[in-house]
Every structure is written in C-alpha cells, then in structure tokens.
Amino acid sequence: MSDSQKPDSRKTVGETLIDLLEANGVEVVFGIPGVHTVELYRGLAGSNIRHITPRHEQGAGFMADGYARVSGKPGVCLVITGPGLTNIITPMAQAFQDSVPMLVISGVNARATLGHGRGRLHELPDQRGMMATLALMSHTLHNPEDLPAVMDRAFAILGSGRPGPVHIEIPTDVMAMKISAPHLKPAAKTRPRADADTIEKAATRCLAAQKPVILVGGGAVDASEKILALAERLDAPLVTTTNARGAFSKSPLSVPASPSLKSVRELIAASDLVLAFGTQMGQTDYDMYADNGFPALKNLIRIDIDPAQLARGPDAALSILSSAENAVTDLLAATGAGNRPQTSGAERAETTRQAAWAELTPKMQVEIGIIEKIRDTLPGAIIVGDSTQAVYAGNLYYEAGRPYGWFNAATGYGALGYGPPAAIGAAIAEPDAPVICITGDGGFQFTLAEIGAAKDVGANVIFLVWNNDGYQEIETYMVENGIEPEGVKPSAPDFLKVAEAFGLPAKRLAHVDELAVALMAFRGHDGPSLIEIHQTGTVGATV
C-alpha cells in the first residue's frame, strides 16, 4: 500500500483539543457554539465530556466559576471570537479577583486577516492583547502543531500557582488542520514549598506566641483539616474570610465573622502572632467600610502561593512562598506532636463571636437567621449568593455548614448576576448536594434566562429570590449620603410566572416560617425550583 493509500491517522486541531481536555481530567465544558467554533466541537459528541449550553457567554463563565469552586477542577468554556469573548470578560475578571481556575478557549479570525481591520465578522483590533490584561496566560495558536505544548502550559499554570483565568484562541483556519496524535497525559503541576530554614523560623514564632490567631482565606480551604490541627496545637482562633466560611464549622476556635468588624479587628490586634493562610487581605474582606481601621500587625506570618501577592502587603515579619497545604504540613512537623498548654483560644473565639454578632443591625441578624435556617434545614447545603442585602449580611457573619458551602460575588470584583449561573455550575459539580442561590430581584434579572439552562441540565438548584423592589442597598447608600435616589427602582417580573413559563415549581412565602417546608418540598423535586421572599410582603423577613 502506497503512502497515499494509507488511512490518515491524524486528527484535526478541534478533535485533538477534546482529547487533550479529557487527558487533563475535564468532564464538563460550558459554551454556545457558533460559526467561529464549530470545528472545535467536531470531537465533542464522541467524547466523555458533557457540554452545558447557557443562554449567554456571561452565564457560561459564571457557571464555570461555580463548577470550579465546588469540584476543584478548572471550569472550561468554549466561546466564539469577538462578542462571545467580550461577553465572558466579566466572569474572567471575577475569577481573577477570587483566584478561581478557568480555561477560556475561543475562536479568532483566520491568521491572514488578523490586525488588518477589514471588517471581518466578529473582528476585534487585538483580541489576544485585550485578553492578556486579565488572563494569567493568553495565547494565539498560530502553529497547529503547538497545540499539545500550549495546552500543557495552560493546565500547568492553572494547577501550580495562584489560580485564575487562562485564555487560548484558535484561528478559524487552524481549527480544521490535521496534526499528528500527541502523547496524551495530564500536565505536570508543581506547587511552591518553603525551605526548611524558613519553616523553622515560622515554627519558632508559633511556639513562642501566647495569643496567636490564624486568618484563613479561600486559597487555603483545601488544607483546612491540617490548618485546624495546627490551630488546636497552638490554641489559636480561626478567622475565616467569605470564601473560607464553613471550613471549621464544628470547631470552638472558629470565628466566622468579617475582619471588617470592630470586634474581629480587636481580636487580631490583641494577638501576639497572626498567621495568614491563602488570603489576599483585600479591601472587601478586611476593610469593607473603607475606614482604614484594620490594625497594623507587628508579628504577621503570611503564607501565599503568589509572590506578587506577598509583595503587595500588608508588611509581614515573615513572608512564606508556599501553597497552604505544603506550608501547614511542614509547620505541623516543625512544631512537634503534642499540644501546647491551652491559652484560652476557644474563650477568645467565643467572646469575639458574641461581640461580632452584637455589632450587626437587627435587620442583618434577621437576614442571617434566614440563611441559617437554610443551612439547618438542608445539611450539606451549598449557598451561592449574588450581591443582595442578605448576602452582604452573611458575609459579615455566617458559619456555613461545610467547606465551599458559602460563596458569592459580593466580594472582590462584585459582578451582579453571578449567583444564578454560578449555582448551576455548583450543582453540576456536586449533583447530590442541595444548592441554593440567594439572589435579589435586581441582580436576578442580569442572568434570569439561565433558568432555562438549569432546566435543560436538570440542575438541582433552588433559586431564592430576595425581593426588595429594586436596588435597595444602593438606594439606602444614596439616602445616607444625602443623594436623592435615582435609577434604583427597576421593575421586576412576577417571578412565579417566570418560573411557571420555564416549567419550574415555585412558591412565594407569606411568612418566613414557611421556608423550611418549602425547602424540603423542593429538595425532593428533580430539577430547579424557585422561592420568593419579599422583604416587606413576607412576614418575618425584616424587622
């Protein structure tokens, strides 16, 4: 048989892309196919990868975000060039701020057309340059044979350092080109680890401390069991940021309250050692009210996977470049096997919890009580929030019942409309867990159409609409600052009729006491459902 008669064992770039995604453990992709990406779909139907179709590329990105947080795997999106990519920029920015691993694979116009500005469909002046401003890596695949190496680099970045969004764009003329089948293997991942001398210095400070406290951010949740063991050894209260809530829910050392609160700051200021794991120490967690009241820390040991983050401050007595898992493993070994004498850590934590609760307004306490009712009614629940007043209250004080049981977009980038699609992604990642999305009547309308995506995939999400007839948080802020409210009363649809239109069961609560029964009823339903709490129309929803 001549060479021309031999069957072609090569695959297209699109087919090989799917093979490489599978080799790196990808089980789900989120995307909306278009003319500029159909060749990337050529091998998808025959693979083991599940495709989820949102109603908007913004929904795809937020679904990928929620999926990644709960599954621990990168959220992967396929989007078209131009508007598909610009639509997903907001979720990528949210993922960047919250350190969520996201791989966005987009099309781009044919190589010969790039940079000429000749009015091609979906053309941007410099698409890759635009994405490079917010992606950890942005690469244009000019040479089809480079695909395996580019994918290897992408997954190495996603799994080694501080997570975030990665972007790969494939020109339309490259997608259908055939290349030799690569050796399929997962990308190598290497997480930083501190040297023994640095760990010894940290251990010496830990053992000398009489009143230590530990700050834990979202980047350290995967190491929570070992961090708890270290906290018990040092008898140190554990202060968790929004993205770490629930990591220590059964521990008397847990302080599930914001470092923006005066009482939590007093706990931290009175400590003789502050050990910070995987926390950005950014404004939305540590200085929510922008009062510059977070205390200066004289004996801060800061552990972070990102050297740039360590350099940004606050100033630390000792900065440790390491993953949280590696650092706490080494600190446990270096601090010895036995527990130190108790230094009233649990008492300090309890005092702070009580003082933090007392700082909250009665309205906030009511809202948190409703969130706690959800947690207690549905053990193991994942509560995904949007930027709405009840969620803001929960970020100030709420103990989730499990790790990754509380996250939202009311910190960091703060994108409205995040909650509904992110909750769908969470339900896809963990289909047996109860998932509740708390969203406002205003924010829900940003991504309301994603109810259809939830219905399509049978996502077990209970959409809890907290209806306060507009953007009440902003209206209150305007009034408090002497500004006549304007633009804060967008009309809302009848959410129960919207649910009915999509075939979802729904209930509007007359009294908050009906919540537990409604939650249990919809928990037994296969697929999404909706509950509405009206801040003034539902008795008990506010003071």
In a domain, 191, yes or no: no
Which of the four pLDDT bands, split at 50, 70 and 90, describes residue 452? very high
Section 124-133 average pLDDT: 84
In a domain, 542, yes or no: no
Cβ(386)–Cβ(419) below 8 Å:
yes
Q: How far apart are CA 185 and CA 148, in angstroms?
A: 10
77 has which bridge partners? 30, 104
Do 266 and 283 belong to one domain? yes
Does 306 have pLDDT greater than 90? yes
Please give the structure tokens belonging to residue 16: 């090989």
Tell me if residue 50 falls in helix, strand or coil: strand
Q: How far apart are CA 406 and CA 428, in angstroms?
A: 16
Does 226 have pLDDT greater than 90? yes
Cis peptide before 259 (omega within 30 of 0): no
Cβ(383)–Cβ(400) below 8 Å:
yes
Do 205 and 170 belong to one domain? no
Model pLDDT for residues 6-65, shown as the tens digit of each residue = 556 789 999 999 999 999 999 999 999 988 888 999 989 899 999 999 999 999 999 999
Cβ(88)–Cβ(60) below 8 Å:
yes
Do 333 and 367 belong to one domain? no
In a domain, 184, yes or no: no
Does 86 have pLDDT greater than 60? yes
Q: What is the pLDDT of residue 65?
A: 98
Task: Check the CA dihedral 408-412-414-420 and report its sign.
Answer: negative
Do 406 and 295 belong to one domain? no
Do 111 and 236 belong to one domain? no
Do 212 and 64 belong to one domain? no
Do 167 and 216 belong to one domain? no
In a domain, 190, yes or no: no
Model pLDDT for residues 465-474, shown as the tens digit of each residue = 999 888 888 8
Do 29 and 145 belong to one domain? yes
Q: What is the pLDDT of residue 358?
A: 98
Do 328 and 402 belong to one domain? no
C-alpha distances out from residue 541 to 93, 308, 371, 401, 490, Å: 33, 44, 11, 22, 21
Q: How far apart are CA 228 and CA 248, in angstroms?
A: 7
355, 370, 404 — which closes off a domain? 355
Does 447 have pLDDT greater than 80? yes
Do 455 and 390 belong to one domain? yes
Three-state SS for 116-169 is CCCCCCCCCCCHHHHHCCCCCEEEECCCHHHHHHHHHHHHHHHHHCCCCEEEEE
Which of the four pLDDT bands, split at 50, 70 and 90, describes residue 242? very high
In a domain, 125, yes or no: yes
Do 351 and 470 belong to one domain? no
Q: What is the pLDDT of residue 180?
A: 86
Tell me if residue 248 falls in helix, strand or coil: coil
Cβ(462)–Cβ(437) below 8 Å:
yes
Q: What is the pLDDT of residue 188?
A: 87
- The torsion region of residue 73 among left (phi > 0), alpha (psi -120 to 50) and beta comes to beta
Phi/psi of residue 20, nearest 5 degrees: -70, -35
Please give the structure tokens belonging to residue 361: 């307004």
Q: What is the pLDDT of residue 4?
A: 55
In a domain, 539, yes or no: no
Q: What is the pLDDT of residue 120?
A: 76
Mean pLDDT, rounded, of the chain: 93
- The torsion region of residue 8 among left (phi > 0), alpha (psi -120 to 50) and beta comes to beta
Task: Tell the burial category of 113 from Cβ atoms under 10 Å away from its Cβ (0-12, 13-18, 19+).
Answer: middle
Which of the four pLDDT bands, split at 50, 70 and 90, describes residue 5? low
Phi/psi of residue 471, nearest 5 degrees: -95, 75
Cβ(176)–Cβ(14) below 8 Å:
yes
Its domain, for residue 44, covers 9-179
Does 384 have pLDDT greater than 90? yes
Cβ(374)–Cβ(436) below 8 Å:
yes
Model pLDDT for residues 486-534, shown as the tens digit of each residue = 898 888 999 999 999 999 999 999 999 999 999 999 998 899 999 999 9
Residue type, 363: K
Do 495 and 518 belong to one domain? yes
Q: What is the pLDDT of residue 362?
A: 96
355, 371, 391 — which closes off a domain? 355
Q: What is the pLDDT of residue 182?
A: 81
C-alpha distances out from residue 365 to 398, 411, 468, Å: 10, 20, 17
Task: Tell the burial category of 402 from Cβ atoms under 10 Å away from its Cβ (0-12, 13-18, 19+).
Answer: middle
139 has which bridge partners? 168
112, 146, 179 — which closes off a domain? 179
Q: What is the pLDDT of residue 267?
A: 97
Does 1 have pLDDT greater than 70? no
Which of the four pLDDT bands, split at 50, 70 and 90, describes residue 197? very high
Task: Tell the burial category of 130 from Cβ atoms under 10 Å away from its Cβ (0-12, 13-18, 19+).
Answer: middle
Q: 31: domain CATH number?
A: 3.40.50.970
Which of the four pLDDT bands, split at 50, 70 and 90, describes residue 101? very high
In a domain, 341, yes or no: yes
Domain count for the chain, please give it.
Answer: 3
In a domain, 189, yes or no: no
Q: What is the pLDDT of residue 343?
A: 72
Q: What is the pLDDT of residue 108?
A: 86
Alpha carbon 9 to chain centroid, angstroms: 41
Q: What is the pLDDT of residue 59?
A: 97
Phi/psi of residue 321, nearest 5 degrees: -85, 105
Nearest to 474 by CA among 410, 413, 522, 521: 410
Residue identified by tokens 């089980």 is: 27
Q: 330: domain CATH number?
A: 3.40.50.1220
Find the Cα–Cα–Cα–Cα dihedral 40, 42, 48, 53, rounded to 10°: 60
